[in-house]
Amino acid sequence: MAVEPRFDETVHGAVRLRICGMLARLGSSEFALLRDTLEVSDPTLSKHLKHLEQAGYLVLVKGPGFGGRTRTWAELTTAGRAAFDGHVAFLREVIDTEPVEGDA
């Protein structure tokens, strides 16, 4: 089914877009995996995850980890997946319809 291109201000932020991209590919993923793959600090990742959670685009679940540590897992909601897919389709549309000056 074709995705309707739609600009999404929440997803548009560079880090938030990358978070959504990782979660869209990997499904439920752990905080440390996102932090290490995206190479961002803990506070930066926390801030953007909370932003996306408040928008209803992802859910954060705390679970047990090795050595009694608590691990945080993030997973895109249906709304989050739709917003991400729509935004990516929008970016592709921008590329297709707005050639750069000087491009052949």
Partner 1 sequence: MERDERPSHLTARDQLDTLHADGAAGGTRAAAPLWYLIVQSLCVAGFAASFSLENWQAAGFALSAVALVLLGMLRPAITGTRIDPWAHKASTLVGLVMTVFILIMMSVGAFVLAPSESATVLVAVALGTFSGTLALGIWMEQAFSRSVAEAN
The binding site for partner 1 (CB under 8 A) comprises 7, 9, 12, 14, 17-18, 21-22, 24-30, 32-33, 36-38, 65-66, 71, 73, 88, 91-92, 94-95, 98-100
* CA dist list (Å): 3 to 67, 78, 90: 43, 14, 9
Q: How far is the CB of 90 from partner 1 (least distance, A)?
A: 8
Give the long-range contacts of residues 32-36, CB within 8 A, separation 24 or more: 32/71, 34/74
Q: How far is the CB of 46 from partner 1 (least distance, A)?
A: 16
Query: Is the Cβ of residue 12 or residue 62 nearer to partner 1 in the bound state?
Result: 12
Query: Is the Cβ of residue 43 or residue 102 nearer to partner 1 in the bound state?
Result: 102
Q: How far is the CB of 48 from partner 1 (least distance, A)?
A: 14
Instruction: Measure CA 80 to chain center.
Output: 8
Distance, CA of 41 to CA of 57 (rounded, Å): 21
